[in-house]
């Protein structure tokens, strides 16, 4: 499939997504009502819910992907050997990509767009909570491909919600080239531990913000409020706060007042509770918890070094931030924190393919092999060596 065909296919699919938005919203409403009746947490319901704005964002992401440079066919590192051989690397599709994900119907469109652009076929297995939404989205995508005379089989949705189906998918090495799980820790662990198909691990987000001794208080409050409360059910939301002890007495009451606006529960260590007694006592488990709720943990530290040590012990390798005016501390934080994305004076909410200019993302990889951070087009490709000769034989 040529670059122009891919571009036209994505444009048509995005248009059909918008044209069918009422049908998609009606299907989504069924899923949301069922989830709420079943006691799903507010954060997970927020992940599941679609709105006109979110469907428009899905379509916009697809259009952005359509206009991005196509990496397929790109030749890298062409070198001439002493024997005259020309050896280079050519970027090619992975093949068939399986995506196993939970209550995130926007993933359906994002995964299709990125896989289609990179010449991959995609098999989608969303969670049962989003089944009606995913069916409606995939029908719209297939309609767009059909309009352009392109194969609709490049995107396939598994509608069987039986867990045995997922187990079979994880063993289909003959047909599936790579699996990418997106969701909670339990889902990701299950796929990593049970799949015989190679897995690119996307991670949960126990994301920290460290407020340094020299931090601008208003900046810190604005960033924390955004990172914690803009969307609670996403992996780049802030879940843990660290505050330098020297500023705690002045900063913590301001922090409580700001987070009270969204009724955020603050689970704090004993020293922080000595300053604001209304905080909830934190346990050891809180330091490593991804809440996906209006809850945040809080710990006081004596230095940037202690903050870094704490983060590297409890984080999930996703996104970490420091709020500081100290250049040296900023650089130390960037150098020593082990995570896919490390920020200075900015919200962790920016760890996102759309925000990074990728148009969309297939997930946030927290592993260190092949791909790390938001996975865009290049991360859905592999390479093969191409060699030009003129009769060379090995001696």
pLDDT digits (tens, 9 = 90+) for 111-162: 999 999 999 999 999 989 999 999 999 999 999 999 999 999 999 999 998 8
Where residue 297 falls among pLDDT bands split at 50, 70, 90? very high
- Mean pLDDT, residues 294-315 taken together: 98
Q: Would you state the pLDDT for residue 163?
A: 86
Looking at 100-109, 169-178, 292-301, 344-353, which range is the least confident one? 100-109
Region 3-27: what's the mean pLDDT? Answer: 96
Quickly state the pLDDT bin for 36 (edges 50, 70, 90). very high
pLDDT tens track for 156-165: 999 998 889 9
Query: Which domains, ranges and CATH numbers included, belong to the chain?
Result: 3-202+375-388 (3.40.605.10), 207-350 (3.40.309.10)
Query: Once rounded to an integer, what is the mean pLDDT over residues 210-237?
Result: 96
The mean per-residue pLDDT over the stretch 79-108 comes to: 94
pLDDT of residue 359: 64
Average pLDDT over all residues of the chain: 94
Q: How confident is the model at residue 183 (pLDDT cuts 50, 70, 90)?
A: confident
Question: Is residue 165 within 8 Å of 127, Cβ to Cβ?
Answer: no
pTM assigned to the model: 0.79
pLDDT at 182 over 90: no
pLDDT surpassing 70 at residue 20: yes
Model confidence at 369: pLDDT above 80: no
- Least confident range from 121-135, 312-326, 347-361: namely 347-361
Identify the residue with better confidence: 298 or 204.
298
Least-confidence region, from 95-109, 168-182, 319-333, 350-364 = 350-364
- Across 66-71, average pLDDT: 92
């Amino acid at each position: 499939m040529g670059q122009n065909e891919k571009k036209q296919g994505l444009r048509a699919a995005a248009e059909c997504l918008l044209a069918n938005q009422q049908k998609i919203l009606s299907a989504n409403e069924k899923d949301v009502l069922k989830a709420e009746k079943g006691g799903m947490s507010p954060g997970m319901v927020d992940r599941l819910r679609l709105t006109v704005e979110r469907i428009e964002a899905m379509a916009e992401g697809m259009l952005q992907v359509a206009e991005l440079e196509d990496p397929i066919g790109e030749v890298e590192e062409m070198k001439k050997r002493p024997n005259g051989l020309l050896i280079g690397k050519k970027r090619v599709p992975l093949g068939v990509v399986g995506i196993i994900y939970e209550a995130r119907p926007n993933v359906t469109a994002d995964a299709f767009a990125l896989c289609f652009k990179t010449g991959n076929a995609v098999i989608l297995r969303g969670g049962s909570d989003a089944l009606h939404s995913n069916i409606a989205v995939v029908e719209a995508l297939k309609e767009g491909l059909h309009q352009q005379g392109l194969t609709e089989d490049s995107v396939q949705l598994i509608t069987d919600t039986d867990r045995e189906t997922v187990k079979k998918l994880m063993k289909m090495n003959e047909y599936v080239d790579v699996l990418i799980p997106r969701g909670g820790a339990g889902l990701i662990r299950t796929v990593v531990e049970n799949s015989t198909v190679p897995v690119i691990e996307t991670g949960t987000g126990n994301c920290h913000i460290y407020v340094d001794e020299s931090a601008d208080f208003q900046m810190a409050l604005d960033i924390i409020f955004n990172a914690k409360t803009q969307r609670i059910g996403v992996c780049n939301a802030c879940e843990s706060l660290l505050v330098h002890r020297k500023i705690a007495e002045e900063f913590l009451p301001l922090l409580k007042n700001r987070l009270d606006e969204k009724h955020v529960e603050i689970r704090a260590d004993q020293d922080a509770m000595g300053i604001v007694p209304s905080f909830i006592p934190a346990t050891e488990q809180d330091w490593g918890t991804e809440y996906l709720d209006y809850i945040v943990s809080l710990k006081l530290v004596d230095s940037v070094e202690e903050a870094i040590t704490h983060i590297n012990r409890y984080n999930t390798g996703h996104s970490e931030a420091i709020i500081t005016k100290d250049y040296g501390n900023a650089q130390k934080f960037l150098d020593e924190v082990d995570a896919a994305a490390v920020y200075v004076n900015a919200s962790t909410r920016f760890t996102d393919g759309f925000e990074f200019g990728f148009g969309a993302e297939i997930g946030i990889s927290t592993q260190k092999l092949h791909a790390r951070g938001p996975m865009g087009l290049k991360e859905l490709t592999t390479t093969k060596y191409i060699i030009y000769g003129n009769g060379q034989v090995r001696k």
